[in-house]
Structure 1
């Protein structure tokens, strides 16, 4: 059984492990060193303090993925523009979990009066994230060429945007 729910502190080790998988083995993130539990606790506390959602997808009692919204940029004028982040545990892709997490993020964004959602996607050759976002109405807003260098290659990022109004 799948459940989308708010993050609990006990979920943070699983969240950390999921992200570490992508940091060390993929181009999906430009981080090169996985953050530790202290950094994850700080991130979760910061998001909660800002009234922003941090969700987990639970499958049969196990954390199978996570998602959160964060302010797109730190300057005050960006306060109504949020960026989404979604990661699924290895072996949990293709089950509709990303769709459930993103759908709930969009609902929550509307509840907190966000105006725009931004997805910043590493263009590493895997179209899954871009397909997920465009299925929800995100449109390409731009491309930043060769802005990341990881695993011996230059990577573009694609910016996708959803107008919530």
Structure 2
């Protein structure tokens, strides 16, 4: 019995313990995007244009281009979601866009999910992708594709696979950014 007592961890009384300041929990609300969100969406996206290969865009998108994209998605009835902090800061967004312009592809979409740099690694991507899949099902969509860079996007590939996306192909050396060749991984999920 004495040996067990020595093995037990003794704790100081609460009033003698050193307290670390508690970090507030990471909180957010996912809601449909509004036109007023577009400047923040543009800033999040353009960060990745300038600093990563997760998008093959080399030129920053303008607010006008985002307004046109927003109007097109709204006209087509396609989901465009944002995650907002309790203080009103936009933390990230997720949307689906037509896979191809031909009418026969109208039930197939490609997803895009981008997080503000401070919001990554906190489960927000998982929450946005889940909400996007649900909203896409509700919109009557049948197939969702993810086209992901084959370098520097392992977390995105793993996230999609956790949601049941299956790899259906790879294309090598189809993009050239930051003085290097890049390929893509194509994943697909049937929405039921």
Contact in 1 for aligned 2:31/2:82 (Cα 8 Å)? yes
C-alpha distance in 2, partners of 1:131/1:49?
32
Indicate yes or no: 2:115 matched with 1:88.
Answer: yes
Choose 148-157 or 5-14, whichever is displaced more.
Answer: 5-14
Normalising by structure 2, report the TM-score.
0.84
Q: Which runs of 5+ in 1 are unaligned?
A: none
**What do the CA deviations read for 1:86-141 (whole angstroms, capped 9, x no partner)?**
00001210111111111011101111221110000011133110011001000001
Return structure 1 stretches of 4+ with deviation > 2 angstroms: none
Match of 2:187 among 156, 160, 164: 160
**How many equivalent pairs are there?**
165
Larger strand fraction of residues? 1
Q: Distance in 2 between matches of 1:90 and 1:96?
A: 13
- Distance apart, 1:14 and its partner CA: 0.7
Cα offsets for 1:30-58 (capped at 9, x unmatched): 10011110000110010000000111011
1:69 alignment partner, one of 96, 105, 109: 96
1:26 corresponds to which of 17, 36, 52: 52
- Kindly report the root-mean-square deviation, in angstroms, between the aligned alpha carbons of the 2 structures: 0.9
Provide structure 2 residue ranges, at least 5 long, that are not aligned to the other structure.
1-26
SS at match of 1:82: strand
Structure 1 partner of 2:169: 142
- Deviation of the 1:11 alpha carbon: 1.0
Contact 2:53 2:152 in 1 (8 A): no
